[in-house]
Chain A
């Protein structure tokens, strides 16, 4: 009985999945006999199966839908939109109940009567001209179902991990064989074993694959519901290109895709009237397609809506301080569109219920990055947007680079690696600015950070022998990661890492080397974030040029341009900064009055700049000014840039004698370190 029930649930689920596309096509063309038959077959099967089990609700629902559809089939009734909607509602309810039964939950408590009544309601409309073909001519559709069996996923997983275990054992054996001198007579059988194993591995990998249709089949229905809700008309074209995708990957890309599609329908495609005014067809077109290229799958979502207003995005980004007006000028069209993924930058006039809920574009991008994928956005204002999602073919096999610090080995996905440079010769040149290393490669200045520094490890390699892995983050930011050694390029089987380790934000998974030793795979964006490399690192070519122009005799003062916790930008003269550092927030004390202290090298140092906000991060950026008794720490949110200003341009403003310097064509408040020390000490004194 249990087996029968499981079979019923699985069959119903499969049919529901296959059906969602059919229903929408049927709605578009109610005369489509094949579609109608498919839906009829489904409700009929459900009704039939209910006879075996005690599911009165399912039976009543499927019975009602079957009756209505039978009328349509017999030509007694026309499939009008009201009927389609009513049938859809019934199928949804059936799906809900089936899911509940499948999970062994209580059936959802809801009243089925209105749904059934909705079917009846539309029946009152007079039927149109009798349909030409009666039920007698209904051809039996030959659906050639491939011979398949249904397997529990756990069994598959067991087989897969068994094959992985075998591969590890094989590698161990290979190592031991290699230690033997001379002929052992085992070489030939061992090679045969290896070949069989390789074959088996490939077959097993294919077992995990599923046609991408499984992912796409739900989208037409989703778009239909969404466009109805928004009063828009959208036609969906789906082209799956016979692409197969890892079944685990399907789950990972589903949410980002759903979000992108929702966005396209909500913000991309215009309302019919607007489209007409713009000289377009009233019905918007949404194309969802998939292609496989080498080791990647490309999923494209193309709409013919109003496109992304790049200028407005840039305007907002500049206003929000993400980039300066000068930087904005050199952005490529694609980079400008990528700004839509910055948190808090959306050009939507208002947040609607549809795309306002759930995740934002920044989360979509972060999730895609996490699996080593990327998102590209092309848009032509007025005529549409193309979102291109690149995801690796399988979640589990990632082309990787293994790198080392001391004796420790880490893996990074190769897709992030732009180039590897050595700290020698003319290839690059390294300088220390404001406590951070910068390298110059072919005229481009790139901020660097040592992996040892980020992970708190000991580097065993002299600085001049270190290697720099240039990492291109998905947003386009480039930074250098200094490591002691590069071990290998290899295809690694990556498995999820335990939540307790995932939580530290530096790792995405674990993998095993040939000798079976586990190796953590780094979360490149997590590493970049912890080093403050995201967004701080931009192509500064423009600024560099400007500096060349100004090569006159004036002495420029180097300064650190930073953003404070209050969000505004300030600069501090480099000469007065004793040290720039990052300290754990554990050592921080904040008082209700706004004062704060931090422990540095075993001493309590007054800390200003927090403005009463207790930082949520684990570490806090600060710089120190003054020394001894007068030492002060100033907390800031992020470094914007290292810059120079001309002391001749500095003006003193207002009553409190605030000094403003001209930096990057804008006035920037300049910190007077001596006043800061004086006021800070006074503040902390008052508090005690």
Chain B
């Protein structure tokens, strides 16, 4: 089966999300914060009658937060019957995925290293293929010293 990827930009870098699990791309208007949730979870938002868990990809990847933005652009993915809105900086385009992602032969930043499945070559340049489940899970809680 032909696989395709949605290319997004997070913190200036190009990353790909498997389009098979993408349900929609939306601009989030109202986000209901969820107190005591992990830091990378921005809260809940509604997609028609379904609630989505909003994941701040920058925080999940342990990157600096975006300067104040009025609207958040999010890629809605479905994982295990739950909807998640992955907030990204920009959405670029859909590209076909040819061949398997290759291993990255370098030490990435810890956040990227955790969530990346590998590197892919696309028509607009190299990008990291992201694992949505890892983005949702977020940084592993550091053990109390």
Residues of A near any B CB (own CB < 8 A): 161, 164-165, 167-169, 408-409, 454-457, 495-501, 503-504, 506-507, 510-512, 516-520, 584-586, 588-589, 614
Report which of B32, B37, B49, B82 forms a contact with A504, defined as CB distance below 8 A: B37
CB-CB under 8 A for A512 and B49, given A499-B82, A506-B36, A520-B34:
yes
The answer to whether A168 touches B34, judged by C-beta atoms less than 8 angstroms apart, is no
Report which of B35, B41, B44, B80 forms a contact with A518, defined as CB distance below 8 A: B44
Total interface residues on B, using CB and 8 Å?
A: 27
Chain B residues closer than 8 Å to A165, beta-carbon distance: 48-49
Docked CA distance A161–B23 (Å): 15
B104-145: contact bitstring with A at CB < 8 Å (1 yes, 0 no)? 000000000000000000000000000000001110001011
Within the complex, what minimum Cβ distance (angstroms) separates B129 from chain A? Answer: 21
Within the complex, what minimum Cβ distance (angstroms) separates A526 from chain B? Answer: 10
Docked CA distance A520–B45 (Å): 11
Within the complex, what minimum Cβ distance (angstroms) separates B53 from chain A? Answer: 4
Given contacts A498-B82, A520-B34, A588-B145, could you give 12 more A-B pairs where the C-beta distance is less than 8 Å? A161-B49, A164-B49, A165-B49, A168-B46, A454-B36, A455-B35, A495-B51, A497-B53, A499-B80, A504-B37, A516-B46, A518-B52
CB-CB under 8 A for A168 and B144, given A408-B35, A498-B84, A519-B32:
no
Within the complex, what minimum Cβ distance (angstroms) separates B113 from chain A? Answer: 20
The answer to whether B34 touches A507, judged by C-beta atoms less than 8 angstroms apart, is yes
Within the complex, what minimum Cβ distance (angstroms) separates A397 from chain B? Answer: 14
Let me know if B38 is at the binding interface, CB within 8 A: yes
Chain B residues closer than 8 Å to A586, beta-carbon distance: 142, 144-145
B16-34: contact bitstring with A at CB < 8 Å (1 yes, 0 no)? 0000000000000010111
Nearest A residue to B82, CB-CB: A498
Which 4 A/B pairs are nearest by Cβ-Cβ distance?
A455-B35, A164-B49, A518-B44, A510-B51
Nearest B residue to A451, CB-CB: B35
Docked CA distance A456–B33 (Å): 12
Docked CA distance A586–B143 (Å): 7
Nearest B residue to A160, CB-CB: B49
The answer to whether B53 touches A168, judged by C-beta atoms less than 8 angstroms apart, is no
Docked CA distance A408–B30 (Å): 12
Let me know if B71 is at the binding interface, CB within 8 A: no
* A–B Cβ pairs within 8 angstroms, 28 of them: A161-B50, A164-B49, A408-B33, A408-B35, A454-B36, A455-B35, A455-B36, A496-B82, A498-B84, A498-B136, A499-B80, A500-B38, A500-B53, A500-B136, A500-B138, A501-B41, A501-B53, A504-B37, A511-B51, A516-B48, A517-B30, A517-B46, A518-B46, A519-B32, A520-B44, A584-B144, A588-B145, A614-B144
Taking chain A's interface residues, is the majority helix, strand, or loop, or is none over half, making it mixed?
mixed
Chain A residues closer than 8 Å to B32, beta-carbon distance: 408-409, 517-520
The answer to whether B51 touches A168, judged by C-beta atoms less than 8 angstroms apart, is no
The answer to whether B36 touches A504, judged by C-beta atoms less than 8 angstroms apart, is yes
CB-CB under 8 A for A518 and B45, given A495-B51, A588-B145:
yes
Chain B residues closer than 8 Å to A614, beta-carbon distance: 144
Within the complex, what minimum Cβ distance (angstroms) separates B142 from chain A? Answer: 7
Nearest B residue to A526, CB-CB: B36
Within the complex, what minimum Cβ distance (angstroms) separates A674 from chain B? Answer: 30
The answer to whether B41 touches A168, judged by C-beta atoms less than 8 angstroms apart, is no
The answer to whether B145 touches A589, judged by C-beta atoms less than 8 angstroms apart, is yes
Chain B residues closer than 8 Å to A409, beta-carbon distance: 32
Nearest A residue to B53, CB-CB: A498
Chain B residues closer than 8 Å to A456, beta-carbon distance: 35-36
Within the complex, what minimum Cβ distance (angstroms) separates A647 from chain B? Answer: 39
Docked CA distance A168–B138 (Å): 31
Within the complex, what minimum Cβ distance (angstroms) separates A626 from chain B? Answer: 24
Chain B residues closer than 8 Å to A169, beta-carbon distance: 48
Nearest B residue to A163, CB-CB: B49
Chain B residues closer than 8 Å to A457, beta-carbon distance: 35
Within the complex, what minimum Cβ distance (angstroms) separates A553 from chain B? Answer: 48
Chain B residues closer than 8 Å to A588, beta-carbon distance: 144-145
The answer to whether B41 touches A500, judged by C-beta atoms less than 8 angstroms apart, is yes
Within the complex, what minimum Cβ distance (angstroms) separates B131 from chain A? Answer: 14
Within the complex, what minimum Cβ distance (angstroms) separates A357 from chain B? Answer: 27
Docked CA distance A500–B132 (Å): 13
Chain B residues closer than 8 Å to A584, beta-carbon distance: 144
Docked CA distance A39–B145 (Å): 63
Chain A residues closer than 8 Å to B48, beta-carbon distance: 165, 168-169, 516
The answer to whether A501 touches B34, judged by C-beta atoms less than 8 angstroms apart, is yes
Chain B residues closer than 8 Å to A503, beta-carbon distance: 38
